[in-house]
Every structure is written in C-alpha cells, then in structure tokens.
Amino acid sequence: MMRGNREMRRMLDKMGLDMKEMPNVEEVIIKTDTKEFYLVKPQIIEMKGKDSTIFQVVATDIEEKQREVPTFKEDDILLVMQQANVSREKAVQALTESKGDMAQAILTLTT
C-alpha cells in the first residue's frame, strides 16, 4: 500500500476516498468476450467513495487463455425462441447452459 506517500493520502482524503488493502486474495479473473485473464496472488487496494468503489489490482503472475465461445445455428436459436416464447438473449443463454441441447434449453425455459 502507499504508506509513505503522505501527499497521495491527503489527495485521496480530499476526494472522499477511504483506502485499504484487501488481504489474502488468491486470484482475480477478468473475462472478455474472447479471453480470460487469471491474475494469481494479486495485491488489491480498495478505494471507497460516496457513490462508487475503485479496485486497484497489481499482479506479476498473469495467465491468459482463449475463451471457448459457443456458436449456435440461427435455426436452433429461432426454434428455442419460438417454442419457449422468449427473447433471443434468453434463448442463447439457455442453449449455452444446456451445451447446445435444444430440448433441454426449451424445457429449462418453460418449466
């Protein structure tokens, strides 16, 4: 943490931010639409304000992995949408959760 930096602490106090270190954090995972970033044993500093919280993450050990993005046929999505009477987003989510099993996706959405 920034123990020796008085100027920084004063500035944070003026901004109304309360700063503290989060101990014993094992891993932070950041997911994008195509990748996942695993930050192992990071140092996390939490800065709380009136309306929001800021997390500062510092890590030296970072693992990057490609995400498997499931793709479904348009006909499969439309069929689940029609049979379950749901939006496209819900149909895709149900198909993803059922690993592409249309019958299971429809059952999940209708029961």
In tens, the pLDDT along 78-106 reads 999 999 999 999 999 999 889 889 999 99
Architecture of the domain spanning 6-66: Single Sheet (2.20)
The predicted-structure confidence for 23-45, as pLDDT tens digits, reads as follows 999 999 999 888 999 999 999 99
Look-up: residue for tokens 């993005």? 69
What is the dotted CATH code of the domain comprising 74-110?
A: 1.10.8
Q: Whats the size of the chain, residue-wise?
A: 111
HSE (side-chain half, CA atoms, 13 Å) at 54 = 10
Locate 81 and state its tokens: 């949408």
Rounded to two decimals, what is the model's pTM? 0.56
What are the residues facing 66 on neighbouring strands?
Answer: 35
The predicted-structure confidence for 45-72, as pLDDT tens digits, reads as follows 998 888 889 899 999 999 999 987 778 8
* Extents of the domains making up the chain: 6-66, 74-110
